[in-house]
Structure 1
C-alpha cells in the first residue's frame, strides 16, 4: 500500500511505541518461558505491578484503536496464573501488530520504512 494511503499518527505515539515495544517483547517472551513450566502457578504481586505498568503505557496509545476494548490489565487483587497473563499479553501482541501495520510503512520518496507521522 502506498505511503499516502496509510493512516497517520502523532510523533508522540510513534515514539511511545518504539520505547516500549522491545521491553514488551522481552517481557512476553520471559512470561511464556516461565508459564510453559508451570502455567497454573500464580504471578507474584511485584510481577503483576511491573506488567501492568507497561500495559498501561501501551493502552494509552491504543485508546482510539479498534483493538482497545480487548486490552485488559492483569488483576492485581486476584493474582492471575501465568496462563492467564500469557493470554492477556497475546492480545496486546496482536494489537501492537495491527497498530504497526496501520501506521508504519515504506516511504517510496525517501526509500525507507518509517512511521507515517501527521
Structure 2
C-alpha cells in the first residue's frame, strides 16, 4: 500500500457514490425541519426510511473507526427531529471522511483507491 493511500473495494466506492446524495438530501430535510420544530416526534415510517438508508451507509463504513459511534434510530424510542438531525450529521461526516481517506489524486486522475 502506498503512503497516504487507503484502499477500499469497488462495491463500497459505488455504494458511497449512490448513498451520499441521498444521505445529504435527508440530512438537509431534517436540518430544516429541526430549525422549525426540533422537539417534534418522528413517525415510525420515517424512522424506517432513515434506518434503511443508514444501514446501507453502515455497509460502506463497516471497517472504519467511526462505525462504533454511528447508531441507528430506535423505533421504540420515537426520536425527536433534533435527534435524527444529530445522527444524520454524524453519518455525513463519516462518509466525508471515508471519501477523503479512500479517494484522491493518483498522479493522473482523481479516483477511488480500489484494492
So what's the TM-score if we normalise by structure 2?
A: 0.94
Q: Tell me whether 50-59 or 92-101 shows the greater mean CA deviation.
A: 92-101
Aligned equivalent of 2:87: 88
Gaps of 5+ in 2: none
Please give the secondary structure, in 2, of the residue aligned with 1:114.
strand
Q: How does 1:1-118 map to 2 (within 5 A)?
A: 4-5=2-3, 6-108=5-107, 111-118=108-115
Which structure 1 residue ranges, 5 or more long, are not aligned?
A: none
- 1 CA distance for matches of 2:83 and 2:29? 14
TM-score by length of 1: 0.92
- Superposed CA deviations along residues 28-65 of structure 1, whole A, max 9, x for unmatched, are 00110111100000111111110000000111121111
Greater than 4 Å deviation, 4+ residue runs: none
1: CA distance between counterparts of 2:86 and 2:98?
19
